[in-house]
């Protein structure tokens, strides 16, 4: 029986030399693999109160939309700077390859709402930490964070756990 990691392709030296890029598009393209990933990502939250799923740009949108649908809750995107219309709040952060800014609509989350944060990969944790800060600034209460892949050597899990976050990942890969 195939495991989640069996559906994920590794591309060497992308986007920079020395990087092993974990490509989840091969997982998304396979109906059994995609269904397995969504089901496994949902499992820890059975019976928990969740009001909205927040997906981190960009692959977190694919996962977050499917998970929100299964939970019958709303979906909120956290996007790169300049991609959302209307009033937003912003958060800068550091990622593996430099710096960036993410944004969320200033009315996307109401104080006290229970939030599940979703993305495909946890590396340094910079994007997830920025998303968490945005959600908390709006008064959202984060129930958990969920990823397909954890790259433990890059320290993202430790960073999020130090913030008091629960971290769930379906598989881990060694290396960067």
Catalytic residue set:
59, 96
Asked if 160 contacts 138 with a C-beta cutoff of 8 angstroms, the reply is no
Q: Report the alpha-carbon distance of residue 65 to residue 77 in Å, rounded.
A: 9
Q: Report the alpha-carbon distance of residue 33 to residue 24 in Å, rounded.
A: 10
């Amino acid at each position: 029986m195939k495991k989640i990691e069996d559906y994920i392709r590794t591309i060497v030296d992308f986007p920079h030399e020395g990087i092993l890029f974990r490509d989840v598009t091969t997982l998304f393209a396979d109906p059994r693999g995609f269904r397995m990933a969504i089901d496994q990502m949902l499992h820890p939250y059975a019976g928990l109160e969740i009001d909205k799923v927040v997906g981190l740009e960009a692959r977190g949108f694919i996962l977050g939309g499917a998970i929100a649908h299964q939970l019958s809750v709303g979906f909120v995107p956290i996007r790169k700077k300049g991609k959302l219309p209307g009033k937003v709040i912003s958060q800068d952060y550091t990622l593996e390859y430099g710096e960036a800014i993410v944004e969320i609509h200033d009315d996307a989350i109401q104080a006290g709402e229970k939030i599940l944060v979703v993305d495909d990969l946890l590396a340094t944790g910079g994007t997830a930490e920025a998303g968490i800060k945005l959600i908390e600034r709006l008064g959202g209460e984060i129930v958990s964070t969920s990823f397909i892949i954890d790259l433990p050597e890059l320290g993202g899990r430790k960073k999020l756990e130090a913030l008091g976050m629960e971290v769930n990942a379906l598989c881990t890969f060694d290396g960067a």
